[in-house]
Structure 1
Amino acid sequence: MIKRITLISASIALGCLATIGPVLTSLYVADKDVENRDREELREFANKAVMRTDFVTYQAFAALSDLDRVPGPVCSTAKLEQAARIVYNYRYVQDAGSYGDGHYLCSPLLGDVRTKNFALPPPDFRSNDGYLVWLQQKSPLSDVRKDIQIGRSGNYVAVDSGSYVDLIDPAQRPIAAILTTTGTLMAISPGADPDEMLNAWKHDGNVKSDQWYYAVAHSSTRPVGVVVRSPHGHIAGDWPKVLIAWLSIGVIVGAALGWLAYRRVTRQLSFPATLEWAIARRMIDVVYQPIVNLTDGKCIGVEALVRWTLNGRSISPEVFVRVAEDNQLIQPLTDLVLEKTLAQLGALLVASPSFYVSINVSGEDLATFRFLNLLNASLNGTGIAPKQIRIEATERSFMNAETTRGVIAAFRAAGHPVYIDDFGTGYSSLSYLQTFEIDVLKIDRSFVETIAQDTASSVVAPHIIAMAHELNVEIIAEGVESAAQAAWLRDKGVQYAQGWHYAKAMATNELTRWLGQNRASHGENRFPENSQETT
């Protein structure tokens, strides 16, 4: 009898084990899955956080470079005016000015304080290329706020340290920004423990804790990094919710649909951050489409165009350029295009003074002289003539006429011809154009496609051509894809064209070969073969 009871008990125990075992196993696996997901999400959050530190540091360095470009004595009116523009133009820059002999000299906020003996302590860090960094530096204007100051050659900019950790995060996970060269804390989220975050940084996030996960990320371009923290999540602690989910198929379907919607929204919201990351790491490519003389087919220049490949998939420029415009990334994108263009085509432009490249700029770059100053500084000492770098802007960039007119005039005065791109798709009219001095109109491809056809838009191209002749400006037709279109345009007095009938947009090596063939067909010497990127 005892043996029977024992056998029955053992059977019941085995049955329970067989029933409960898979459940417990699945709960364990699910718990580990939650842990892995939490850690992966935290690593992604750390990568986003380090992109923020990259962007804030980029603005500080760019602002300091703008301040260095102004000649003249320290604390002159011109220098203070430039410093004020920098504070206004750069979101994260709180102040900009000059220092010397361990003292503040002047800034738009301080004024001229050379006689007030405002001491500036020794920097916390000196880089090999001459940059000085002060961490948690109190401004003479405040006994409360502490800024990060970056200086070089007697000029400095101040950045609110909170900018480095001010990341939108519904979970409010703590962030600490670290100066990697010294392992020093630069900034930390309110309420976080500095010693705890520094300890996690020193151990690369591998800290044993029953409460917290840690993750670190390093910038690939600057000596900064971040450490972030989030609480543990355990599915086993929420087992009643799991049982309810299994018993209610409707909840499962609703949760699945909600999860899919959440994932889709998350991807959309993270796209600007991904673009910011790609720009900061120079992962945007530049290609060049030839512009030819319609009379003889000779290539006279090229247009620089941006391309972006993300995870093996090509992203349309119409998509990511608009995202850049909407998220204050268009100026860094334009700066990158200029940098790569000069590096890739510099030798070619120097060897052929009549050849040019046109660069697209945004409305933001026509609102201030920032890009013009950068362009002039970039060309200095290269041997490239200003007329070889031409400026293209769409019609919507001309909407703020009062501001834009002066900047366009400054580009032209500096020797850079100005083009209106995609003409006919925006806000154009003869009276509107008469208020600007420009050099070239570019007819949008949508109107070129319909020339000599019986469509409603086929009459637009002749009107644009007549308008350009009335204004005495030259014309480039975009999207020319057939000999018939080229012949029609040539008969109407259009001087230049670009499109697949002549050549597609090409990378530097392919462009060099194509230009050599084009010049050879006209009995001219080949372009130099060493026009490779040097940076």
Structure 2
Amino acid sequence: MSPAFVRFRSVLYRPWLLATIAALACAALLLSASLGLIMHQVQQTEIEQMNARGERFLERLEQIFGQLRESVDELDEQTVRGCGPQMLAVLQQVGFDNRFVYDAAYSDGIEHCSSRPSEQNADALRAPDIKGPTYSYWLNTSTQPDDNLAALRLARGSFTVSTSRGHLTDVVDLAPGGSLLVVLDKGTRAIPVLGPVQAWPPSADWPPPAQQPLVVTHDSLIYRMFTKSPDYQLVLISPRTSVLPKMNQALWALFPASLLLSWCVGWIVLQQIRERRSMSAELQGALRRGELKVLYQPIFDLNSRRCVGAEALVRWRRPDGTLTSPDLFIPMAENTGQIREITDFVLQQLLEQLGQLLRANPHLYISVNLAACDVMVPRIGRVVARLLDQYRVAAHQIAFEVTERGLIDVVVARDNLQALRDVGHQVLIDDFGTGYCSLAYLQTLPVDCLKIDKAFIDALGHDAASSGVAPHIIRMAHALQLRVIAEGIEFEAQALLLSSEGVNYGQGWLFAHPLNARQFSELVTRGRRMIGRRMDDEA
């Protein structure tokens, strides 16, 4: 390991630094997510508002165009001509009867009169924007922000009717900088009815192939209003505004909430690191002070009920008498590398305590759990060879248990496990069925025995979904000519059922609790079944 990497790891392995990094990373992630959520929400709201505005404009425009056509048709059909009092009365009556008719006018090239005498008729001086066989249209007659000015004019024969800007915007007003356009000449030209002139076409790939009403571009929202007339289409354009002014107050609350949550994450990381470092230091001291104890969970032949071996278990009893669960300190020891020292301690203790018993009972064996770090390197073989030579114990009396989760690299694990088997050690797969070891891998591994996890034993005889797992594992083991050990047997019915399924060995509180070396020796030498005291009653 390079000195630079060692220095880098030492810098990182500081509680406050790691907590700060975790808090900053969490804050960045949460703030980014909050900002993305805010922008998405604002954009969705903007699009929904534009859809609603476009639908209301379209509905109003259809009403206006329909009423203007009906009004000008009515005027053209009546027989009064000229600008006499009768004509003025007719024009005023049309304006009175039709809500959207702002002004009605008559012009025959000589005379001109209007229901609003003060209204100018500047559009009469220019050609209509749309010239149809029946109607002529003048668009954008007023872009001033005054509701009392004509904005759209329709003519038939000598009569014209117009609607005001107020009639177009009383349902919904244009957004600032927005425009209502009439698109002519097959989409090549656009004239604003309301609002300023807009660049047309709005994008290089206009028109879009899809027929959806709303088109969203980088800087504008474009709502297309499809009409029945082939001469023109209507388009509502609204510029996209800045996101920040529209941010909802509730969404803004995500920012302080994100900061608060990131602070909590940093504090939790700090506490976890301190606790793990404190436990790591305590575990190191516990090894020196002899606080770790090795207990032995006997393994029995299910038919003869004779003890054939045991699994070595390590327990940590504090000076105040409390027990620290292996579920806490074993994973921590694996992460810190202290598990190697614990494994060596277990091997040393069991051979020191049970060496004489093992020499006197060649059929007896003790199994030791191996962590993933020892499965992946050949170190443990050298350690156990030295201890076996020292205590004159046969290699076949020390077995090694590995979990499926410990087989990180199956090829490397296979070579190291085979090296242990070559000198006489048994290899057991512990907690089989809870990991990811497939049948194909299992066939290639140098294994002597499978141990079925307690969870599957508990499911036997019940309607649980996993009740059929244990029989399946048993059949698979028999097919591969492997022995089977059932863990966690607590009831006689379980033992009988497993025995009927062809399981020869079992361990659990039905037979004995974990025992200290003296109790285990008595159990073996007396050759009888013994129900030991609980492990937390042991000194």
Using structure 1 for the length normalisation, give the TM-score: 0.49
- TM-score (structure 2 length as normaliser): 0.48
Largest Rg, 1 or 2:
2
